[in-house]
Amino acid sequence: MTVCITGDVHHVSMATRDQEYLDGTEVAAAVEYAEIAAEHDVPVTLFCTAKCIEEEPERMRTLAEMDNVELGGHNYWAFTTPVHAAWRALGKVTGGAIGSWNGPRVFQAYEIRKTVDAFEQLGVLVRSWRDHAYRHDRHTADLLSRYGVTHFSDHVDPDGEIRQESRLTVVPINTPPDHEHVYHAFRTPEFVADDDFEGPFGTESRSPADWANWVLEHVEGHRDSGTVATVLAHPACMRLADGFEAFERLCDAVDHGVHLSDVEA
């Protein structure tokens, strides 16, 4: 089975809800995650905010030097600046006529360029990209291709197929994403019962073991149809859920892993 295992990694100062429960940082969890994958000879693509480089340069350098790790872009600030907030508010009051999560086109271009430049200082050429929270707008694909990105994984779709858009290879997440569908940290059964979330894979969350079974069922289905299975398993989420047990099971099941930038349309 051809599987692309991916994860998203956020900087400490972002103070995500998961980070409140995490012993250590998301980057530290990513190093452990990558080491587990390496033990199984599985490549992983980690989409990291470039501010991780600013805040944890040595750990990011460790990831950059690992043979099984591809580092991809995940914005610089992950939409946390006043510019992002203002443009997001404008989008809300105009019903989306003006504004977006990504900021004005010129600012989005600046953030992409700033991210690419930060990774270049680590000796990494960013070829793969995922926006934080899958947020993109009509400018994103074109801007990414202008700054050398070749692969874009910013869409969740159980039946998603690889396609071309604005000179990018678009690789959908076609298995149940962990953060929305596995119990961990704040995402308890009580939280899920009161939450109004509904995504392409529905509303439910599962135990880590049951989530892994669910993912592998989709992986098998994509194998039968000849499609690459793309998995989203966050390092922080996998650590918080069960200390990487479900993640290790996924790695053990992979017999042909690829980095996202190696996926062909």
Task: Assign 224 to helix, strand or coil.
Answer: helix
Q: Please, what is the average pLDDT of the chain?
A: 96
- DSSP-assigned beta bridge partners for residue 47: 8, 72
Amino acid identity at 63: L
Give residue limits of the domains in the chain: 2-262
Is residue 123's pLDDT more than 80? yes
The set of long-range contacts for 212-216, using a CB threshold of 8 Å and a minimum separation of 24, is: 212/246, 212/249, 212/250, 214/175, 214/176, 214/181, 215/175, 215/176, 215/250, 216/250, 216/253
Is residue 1's pLDDT more than 80? no
The encoded tokens of residue 206 equal 């599962």
Q: How confident is the model at residue 96 (pLDDT cuts 50, 70, 90)?
A: confident
Give 255's Cβ-side CA count (13 Å radius). Answer: 5
| Mean pLDDT confidence for 41-62 | 98
Q: Where do runs of H (alpha helix) occur along the chain? A: 26-39, 51-55, 57-64, 82-93, 105-120, 140-146, 178-181, 189-194, 208-224, 235-242, 245-253
Q: What is the pLDDT of residue 161?
A: 87
What string of DSSP letters covers 168-206?
A: EEE--B-S--HHHHB-BTTB-HHHHHH----BTTBS--B
Distances (CA, A) of 77 to 35, 82, 103: 26, 11, 12
Q: How confident is the model at residue 227 (pLDDT cuts 50, 70, 90)?
A: very high
What string of DSSP letters covers 83-105?
A: HHHHHHHHHHHTTTSS--TT--H
> What does the alpha-carbon distance between residue 19 and residue 236 come to, in Å, rounded to a whole number?
8
Q: Nearest-CA neighbor of 47 among 76, 13, 88? A: 76
| Mean pLDDT confidence for 10-17 | 97
What is the fold of 2-262?
Answer: TIM Barrel (3.20.20)
User: pLDDT tens-digit profile of 171-222?
Assistant: 999 999 999 999 999 999 999 999 999 999 999 999 999 999 999 999 999 9
Distances (CA, A) of 43 to 128, 177, 245: 14, 18, 18
Is residue 87's pLDDT more than 90? yes
> Is there a contact between 145 and 166 (Cβ–Cβ < 8 Å)?
yes
